[in-house]
Amino acid sequence: MCGITAHVGSDEAVEDLLTGLENLEYRGYDSAGVAVKNGVGIDVCKRQGEISKLKERIRGEVDGGGNVGIGHTRWSTHGPPTDENAHPHTDCTGDVAVVHNGIIENYEGLKRELERDGHEFDSDTDTEVVPHLVEAYRDEGLSPEAAFRRTVGRLEGSYAVAMVVEGVDGVYATRNGSPLVLGVADDRRYLASDAPAFLKFTDRVVYLEDGDVVALEPGDHRITDLDGNPVERPPETVDWVAEDAEKGGYDHYMLKEIHEQPTALAQTLQGRIGGGQGADGASPPAGNDAVELEEFPPGAFGGVESVQFVACGTSYHAALYATRVLASRGVEASAYRAGEYATSPAPIGDGTLVVAVTQSGETADTLESLRVANEQGARTLAVTNVVGSTAARESDDALFIRAGPEIGVAATKTFSSQVATLTLLGERIVRDLTGLASEGVGDLLDSLAALGGNVQRVVDESRAQAVAETYADRPSYFFIGRDVGYPVALEGALKFKEITYEHAEGFAAGELKHGPLALVTEETPVFAVFTGRHDGKTLSNVEQVQARGAPVIAVASEDHDAALDVADETLTYPEAAPEAAAVLANVQLQLVSYHVAKGLDRAIDKPRNLAKSVTVE
Ligand code: F6R
């Protein structure tokens, strides 16, 4: 986790670093800090807490006119979130300052060695060994760049590191297993863990690779490998715009991103259904059952016999949904929680396709699973939102969900875009295997094409706020569903607990009676997800919880009289095929979580203890 950033060029280093950090705050918000060169030395300002706290103090502590600096926003791994443990970390002299994202696994041995040589440490972090090692190598007579390279050569683990050093009008940085992108503007250069940090300043980026060492100077940069051999990496233009990463008048990014789902879905589906290009921002045309994944021509998945999905959290729920889509079309598919798959991988055969589903493309557990699958010789595919992410680069192929940047820590629009992408992928695989379109695909694709408009109706007409007010302040909340409604129940509960801090659990509807029913009382609101498939059985489960006095909120199609009549409260969506209905039901649950969390005054965009991009195992 953690976000790092760097600026070299204009006299507005402090302003640009703070902008970058605010755009990276979703990666961690335990503490924040900057180090800026002021012409005679390096000013460091760092504070426990969010970036707003750093901003309150920075004017008095940092020279506003510096043109070179580095910044950091932290999600704690080694040591509690204190001022001392905040980055940047410095050497004994204060001439070297470093920010780091990742984990240096051999830091204890390095620290002992440095302490034996007289270095004094101020923090509990693994990172602090880096500036002290650079100091030690400079004391041996190495140049700052050579000392940086020698230091990096001693590090084991994952890291993206950026350093400023006295006497050098620039920044040195490198990466190994943690993301780092370079932003190229005419007279300035930026570094960040993620491109939205500097999108306001430039859309030209270089995705750095593991082992790259980059030296930034005003208006220029040099990329080399660890041995100093030049590496050519031409900049690419990213098509995300700065406004996508701003709040745009909404109280929270999460609400903005819930409302952005029609646009995100249109982007996801554009040109992929019906062989046509939807107009900008509009859904693609309905009524044609062609599925075109531009990256994968017909036949691309011909040899696939089974699919293993690996993912975490919300992405795991999207993966679980995909297994239902594939299995119902006769394709063997299973979903694994990536943290488990990495240690207990499933057997891989000749025709196994391993699909890593990951919004960020940087989740450590998912990357580890991907590496395990690669080592075992599986064909691998990343389904991700981030072009140039580690998952995209380390997989044989990548399929992009095209949802645009998501800043709220709770994933919303990216779930919908993942599900839409995976549904199309499923259909592509079925066609490649059987030579035929799957049964009922016309209705499914029509529902997908109409999904954006239907999500808009849900968002416009939702009664989620009223439901949230009625059922606020209960000890526990249950979410149930089956088939494609089961991942939605899990996702509804995850979102709810994540941002409200209230206890919530998702269950397969039929599983309730095998134990969890013991917890159900009249104080346990149960959200029941109906998708139009196997609903009769879910209705029986609803009766079982109602018999124990639990209030039931049916999330169902607006013409589903049976579900709506029996429920105590209803959240409806326009009629759609079950696969699309699951997405619509999920939007209602996103809104319920949002309104309950808002009523409780929670930190909705930055829930406690969490970060968006989980780059540690
Ligand atoms: C929950 C949430 C997390 C992520 C998980 C995986 O709202 O956002 O559960 O889904 O950390 O992240 P990615 O998809 O980036 O691999």
Domains located in the chain, CATH noted: 3-244 (3.60.20.10), 253-459 (3.40.50.10490), 462-617 (3.40.50.10490)
Euclidean distance between CA atoms 161 and 107, whole angstroms: 14
**pLDDT recorded at residue 318:** 98
CB 27, CB 613: distance < 8 Å: yes
Q: Which atom of ligand 1 is nearest to the CA of 391?
A: 16
CA of 311 relative to ligand 1 center, distance in Å: 8
- DSSP state string for 33-77: EEEEE-SSSEEEEEEES-HHHHHHHHHHHS-TT-SEEEEEEE--S
Higher pLDDT, 23 or 600: 600
pLDDT tier for residue 2 given thresholds of 50, 70 and 90: confident
Q: Is 459 a pocket residue for ligand 1 (Cβ < 6 Å)?
A: no
**pLDDT recorded at residue 375:** 95
Q: What residues have CB less than 8 Å from 56, skipping those under 6 apart?
A: none
Mean pLDDT confidence for 32-42: 91
Q: Which atom of ligand 1 is nearest to the CA of 316?
A: 10
* Three-point CA angle 381, 386, 388, nearest 5°: 80
Res. 102: pLDDT tops 80: yes
Closest CA to ligand 1's atom 8: 411
**Dihedrals φ, ψ of 347, to 5°?**
-60, 140
CB 204, CB 388: distance < 8 Å: no
- Of the listed ranges 282-286, 334-338, 448-452, 493-497, the one predicted with least confidence: 282-286
**pLDDT recorded at residue 193:** 93
Q: Is 363 a pocket residue for ligand 1 (Cβ < 6 Å)?
A: yes
**pLDDT recorded at residue 59:** 78
Question: Is the bond leading into 235 cis (omega within 30 degrees of zero)?
Answer: no
Mean pLDDT of the chain: 92
**pLDDT recorded at residue 285:** 45
Res. 243: pLDDT tops 80: no
Q: Is 313 a pocket residue for ligand 1 (Cβ < 6 Å)?
A: yes
Q: Which atom of ligand 1 is nearest to the CA of 418?
A: 14
Sign of the CA dihedral with 462 first, then 467, 468, and 469 last: positive
CB 189, CB 175: distance < 8 Å: no
Q: Is 358 a pocket residue for ligand 1 (Cβ < 6 Å)?
A: yes
Res. 280: pLDDT tops 50: no
Residues belonging to the active site: 2, 612
Mean pLDDT confidence for 435-444: 86
pLDDT tier for residue 290 given thresholds of 50, 70 and 90: confident
